[in-house]
Structure 1
Amino acid sequence: MTVEDIPQVGRLFYKIFRKKTGDSSTAFNNYFKDLFFGSPFYEIQYGSFVHETENGSINSAILAIPMQYSVDDRIVTARLLCAFMTDPDMSRRGAAELALTMRPRHQDLCFSDSASPVSADHWKAVGGTLMPLHGLDWYRVFQPAGFLAQTGGKHSAFLRFTARLPLARPADRLVKRMVASFNTEHTHGMHDETMSSELFLATVPEFLAPYSVRPVWSELELGWILGIARQNSSLGPLHIRSVWDSKAELNGCFVYFGQPGSIAQIMNVFSQKNKEHTVVNQMMYHLEQSGFVGARGHVQPRQLEALSRHRGMFYKHRAHTCVSTRYSSVTDAIARNEMFIGGLAGESWSRLVSDFF
């Protein structure tokens, strides 16, 4: 895909994912260019694919963002696949040909954390690997009535209106007095605070070290990701908070979108080894005390036990997480839960997921 293809691909994106006909907006096209051509490691061989008909019309596309990954301490440029789309009014041949490019023998590493069931079937058909646990979202409810109003508001005009009113607050206060499990108990000596981008960039590689397949996240690349992520105002402000113990030692950090009164969208939770419980608990305490009605995030298998200690939790399938690679060491790492995918190493921070409706 080239920059000149953006208007055609934008039109196809609107048709498939927004159920709209006509040209994509200038704002969409500008963001699309920044997202898919702006990475500091962008080169055309690591970018997106399109399929053209004989008359030059684009009828299928796979959108991809290059991301550097460490595979057993060897750096490769991976592809984060963000959308696989084909025009339903045209031949499916283009989709089939593009799907074949995802064969493991053609890829150092490509992955998606937002694949639809149809896309997941394509991955399986060409020999890719699925990561079922990574396709789950966890939810923590802090204010039940407020949470219901927020989630139900997506489908009900009445609940959208109710969510803007303080009607849920008395009910939530009553529930929290009657059901102690909705309250997060603070761990003595722990606290969290705003984390500077400089400290985050300097320390996050250490948190990822236990994963044999992980994003490199150089300051240049992670700085670019954070800059693009902060443009997603539809999710609220982006926050990075560090977690410290009574000895002033950094236990971990967490990254999320949101503002009080909403459901916080957790991007990632990072921790030192054996500090998962303290970091997750401090995050929950912070969000509850800050006035969020709930929180949601992607399941990381290594944090599942720490998350499951909290009440008011439930899990829901979000999307399929799929990987294609020529390296057996990657598939071995997946079997050991040693590949890091999701959050900032995924697509959920992109405006294409939650904006331009």
Structure 2
Amino acid sequence: MGQSSDRAGKRAGVRDLEREDLPSVGGLFQRTFRKGGEPPASLIDYLREVFFEHPWQDDELRSKVFVGENGDVQGFVGVFPSRLELDGRPLRAAFAGSMMVEHPDRNPLAGARLLRAFLAGPQDISLTETANAVALGMWQKLALPLDTAYSLNWLRVFRPTAAAVGVVERKFPTARILRPVAAAADALGERAGFSSLRMPAAVAGRRTAFRDATQAEFAEALLSLKDSFTLRPMWDRTALDWFTQHARQKRATGKPFWRLALSPKGEVVGCYVYFASRGGIGWLLQALCTPAIAGDLVDDLFAHADGQGCAGLRGGGHPWLTPELISRKAIFYGRAFLVAHSKDASLLQPIRSGTALISGLAGENWTRLIGDSFD
């Protein structure tokens, strides 16, 4: 009798994720972020891969579940271990993502308990780059504010009517049937002489050359360019390939386009990858460059996406690109927020100054759990 009570007591509250929890977490994910129903086997397999076969797997940085008195999973926060370095000093980091609670009205403290359990871990720095308004409120109640520079989501419109349809599609996928009507309306507007938001294919006076790249060439460029950031991931080729391959599998975002920027001497001075489908709104996952060519990179990015027939292009916070985005008619808005916490305030200074590489492939946006579907 006493042993049974002990087991029940250990199971109640917040504990580390176990492999046998994955079907329950998958079901919770389906009910919270999708349309419900039984979780597909592909989702369960994916949860196993990202939370138990991560290249930087750390048994002390485990995802957390909130369980009821009967041991049933009622809440979850995914924890993605990360390895960062600050001026050569290795750091243990962790990203929190995919926070969800079953019946939050019945479990009003479950989310806060999951977040506190995450923050109590052994990591040097705790982050999230995908906090929604609800999750942000939990961080703020702990006196942990968002970082504005990395939370500036943006949208650049090329075809206004099609872009409006694309925004509606995110909520109602059946709105896709309106794409041909939207394309016709945008073409009519351009012929009528309305102010165009389209981008020129070439910009006069630009010395930087751009070309398409393979995924492997893009990875090599990232490994070189990341060293210009004060706080950066400790990628090696094996880990980086794992992240990029997961990002490439995000079918809902469209086809990936890998691009390199070259100096007049042929040196790689920038790179970016974005995803796009004709008539839809493309998505920038990652862009790195030397400061001198930031404007050239944004010009090429917009022109390339426009040339692929995108209605628009969106992305998360890239502080090193923000001035160029502002001057090129990008719209800024709040959607996913970045929050960082550390007991050592010096570790947060690069984030405050915008010299940290902690988002996109360096963060958690590579995962299919954000914005993709499972069969």
TM-score by shorter chain over 0.5:
yes
Question: Is 1:190–1:282's contact at 8 Å kept on the other side of the alignment?
Answer: no
Partners of 1:105 and 1:338 lie apart in 2 by 25
* 1:331 corresponds to: 348
* 2:142 corresponds to: 126
Q: Which moved more, 1:119-128 or 1:223-232?
A: 119-128
Determine whether 1:314 maps to 2:331: yes
1:46-195 correspondence to structure 2 within 5 Å: 46-88=61-103, 90-103=106-119, 106-154=122-170, 159-164=175-180, 166-168=183-185, 170-171=187-188, 173-174=190-191, 178-179=194-195, 182-184=198-200, 186-187=203-204, 188-195=206-213
* Per-residue deviation, residues 295-340 of structure 1 (Å, max 9, x unmatched): 11112222111112213x2111112211122322222222222222
Question: Is 1:146–1:172's contact at 8 Å kept on the other side of the alignment?
Answer: no
In the alignment, residue 115 of structure 1 is paired with which amino acid? A
Distance apart, 1:47 and its partner CA: 2.4
| Long gaps (5+) in structure 2 | 1-16
When the two structures are aligned, how many residues end up with a matched partner?
354
Question: Is 1:134–1:299's contact at 8 Å kept on the other side of the alignment?
Answer: yes
Report % sequence identity: 24
Distance apart, 1:189 and its partner CA: 4.5
* 2:47 corresponds to: 32
Question: Is 1:129–1:324's contact at 8 Å kept on the other side of the alignment?
Answer: no
Partners of 2:65 and 2:28 lie apart in 1 by 11
Partners of 2:174 and 2:185 lie apart in 1 by 13
* 2:283 corresponds to: 265
Question: Is 1:136–1:317's contact at 8 Å kept on the other side of the alignment?
Answer: yes
Specify whether residues 114 and 50 from structure 1 end up closer, same or farther in structure 2 by C-alpha distance, changes over 3 A only. same
Question: Is 1:137–1:298's contact at 8 Å kept on the other side of the alignment?
Answer: yes
* 2:252 corresponds to: 234
TM-score (norm 2): 0.85
Q: Which moved more, 1:252-261 or 1:186-195?
A: 186-195
Question: Is 1:127–1:324's contact at 8 Å kept on the other side of the alignment?
Answer: no
* 1:291 corresponds to: 309
Question: Is 2:198–2:306's contact at 8 Å kept on the other side of the alignment?
Answer: no
Distance apart, 1:159 and its partner CA: 4.8
Partners of 2:50 and 2:331 lie apart in 1 by 32
2:228 match: secondary structure: coil
In the alignment, residue 198 of structure 2 is paired with which amino acid? F
| Long gaps (5+) in structure 1 | none
1:112 match: secondary structure: strand
In the alignment, residue 219 of structure 1 is paired with which amino acid? R
* Per-residue deviation, residues 45-71 of structure 1 (Å, max 9, x unmatched): 122111323322122221112221113
Partners of 2:366 and 2:180 lie apart in 1 by 25
Partners of 1:242 and 1:97 lie apart in 2 by 44
TM-score (norm 1): 0.89
Partners of 2:245 and 2:211 lie apart in 1 by 21
* Per-residue deviation, residues 137-191 of structure 1 (Å, max 9, x unmatched): 111112223222322344568853220455235225426x542553335244443
2:44 match: secondary structure: helix
1:12-31 correspondence to structure 2 within 5 Å: 12-18=28-34, 20=36, 22-31=37-46
Partners of 2:170 and 2:112 lie apart in 1 by 34
Q: Runs of at least 4 residues of structure 1 off by over 6 A?
A: none
* 1:355 corresponds to: 372
Question: Is 1:139–1:294's contact at 8 Å kept on the other side of the alignment?
Answer: yes
Question: Is 1:236–1:257's contact at 8 Å kept on the other side of the alignment?
Answer: yes
* 2:358 corresponds to: 341
Partners of 2:208 and 2:356 lie apart in 1 by 29
Partners of 1:266 and 1:215 lie apart in 2 by 19
Distance apart, 1:223 and its partner CA: 0.5
1:296 match: secondary structure: strand
Partners of 1:105 and 1:37 lie apart in 2 by 17
Specify whether residues 52 and 243 from structure 1 end up closer, same or farther in structure 2 by C-alpha distance, changes over 3 A only. same
1:209-288 correspondence to structure 2 within 5 Å: 209-288=227-306
Partners of 1:143 and 1:102 lie apart in 2 by 42
Partners of 2:117 and 2:286 lie apart in 1 by 30
